[in-house]
Structure 1
Amino acid sequence: MNSIVRVAKLEDVEVVTGFLEKAKLNSHGIEEMVDSFLIMEDTSGVKATMGMEMFGVSGLLRSLVMTANTSENDLLQLFEEMFLLARKKEVKDLYLATNKLGAMKFVEVLGFEIVDNDQLPMAFSQSEHVKHILTVDNSVFLRRRLV
């Protein structure tokens, strides 16, 4: 089945929120940043989501959720579409956080590099989401420069 990736709209908030909550992820604030969320779907419905929280010219990827039938190619397509969306929103540096070694290897192939916590944008310190990430064991931040 062919998948399409599109930017979420206000009428998608309930779908995105439900998809994230089903995966036991925090869905707080989705409505305010819905135009920075991507939805991957096919004829069976939503296959994956990925969001970006904006901090000036920096973006933090969050809420990457995939169904079991999401392929590696689907995931690559989702990241490529997010890079395009980030550039459209004039993001210069895109960050993500993970505590999974397997995920780190994948995103490093996409051009992300590990950064020390003291290299994170100052605006991140105001984010409850980032504060939570910093409490998770073995979590690291990675950055990809888009300019």
Structure 2
Amino acid sequence: MEALVRCARMKDKDKLVAFLEKANLGTEGVEAAIDYFLILEDEDERIQATIGIEPLGAYGLLRSLAMTQKLSENDLLFLFEQMLKLAREKKFESLYLATNKRSALSLFSVLGFDREDKENLPKGLFASEHVKHIMNVDNSLFMRLKLE
């Protein structure tokens, strides 16, 4: 698959929201943070994957990772490389992610994320409704990647 990764634009909002809804992911805040989303498209401009960053001051919270089954490992790694580049351009100190899927641990560990105890999370993360929700989900955990 010939893939292109680019920053989402406001004109992508409806297509992006539909893609996220199909993946059963929340879409709250997509419009406000549209320039913090990356889209991986095929040659026909169909979204094959997306990932977003919820900006929370000096920190970013990874959100909305969704992908089709057609996506290759190389495409996924390229998407993450571009996401890290975007996070550095936006001058985040660290990126965080929240999950209750233990299967995600190995992938994010390979990408440089380390587990973070909930007690050590910066106060700024609690401005996120997603973080507040995850704090109440059984088996949830957080991971952090320092960008400095």
TM-score (norm 2): 0.96
Q: By how many angstroms is 1:126 displaced?
A: 2.2
Supply the distance in 1 between the matched residues of 2:25 and 2:102 (Cα, whole angstroms). 20
- DSSP-derived class of the 2:115 partner: strand
Q: Which amino acid aligns with 1:79?
A: F
Q: Which amino acid aligns with 2:31?
A: E
Map 1:8-27 onto structure 2 (within 5 A): 8-27=8-27
Supply the distance in 2 between the matched residues of 1:97 and 1:104 (Cα, whole angstroms). 10
Tell me what 2:69 maps to. Answer: 68
Q: Output the aligned Cα RMSD.
A: 0.9
Map 1:97-112 onto structure 2 (within 5 A): 97-112=98-113
Q: By how many angstroms is 1:114 displaced?
A: 0.2
For residues 91-117 of structure 1, give each alpha carbon's deviation from its aligned partner in whole angstroms, at most 9, with x where no partner exists. Answer: 110011122222100110110000001
Map 1:27-38 onto structure 2 (within 5 A): 27-38=27-38
Q: Which amino acid aligns with 2:21?
A: E
Unaligned runs of 5+ in 2: none
Q: By how many angstroms is 1:17 displaced?
A: 0.6
Supply the distance in 2 between the matched residues of 1:108 and 1:91 (Cα, whole angstroms). 19
Unaligned runs of 5+ in 1: none
Q: Which runs of 4+ in 1 moved over 6 A?
A: none
1:7 matched to 2:7: yes
1:130 matched to 2:137: no
Q: By how many angstroms is 1:125 displaced?
A: 1.5
Q: Which amino acid aligns with 1:91?
A: F
Tell me what 1:50 maps to. Answer: 51
For residues 28-83 of structure 1, give each alpha carbon's deviation from its aligned partner in whole angstroms, at most 9, with x where no partner exists. Answer: 11110000000001024110000000111100000000001111111111110000
TM-score (norm 1): 0.96
Supply the distance in 1 between the matched residues of 2:107 and 2:24 (Cα, whole angstroms). 23
Supply the distance in 2 between the matched residues of 1:74 and 1:98 (Cα, whole angstroms). 22
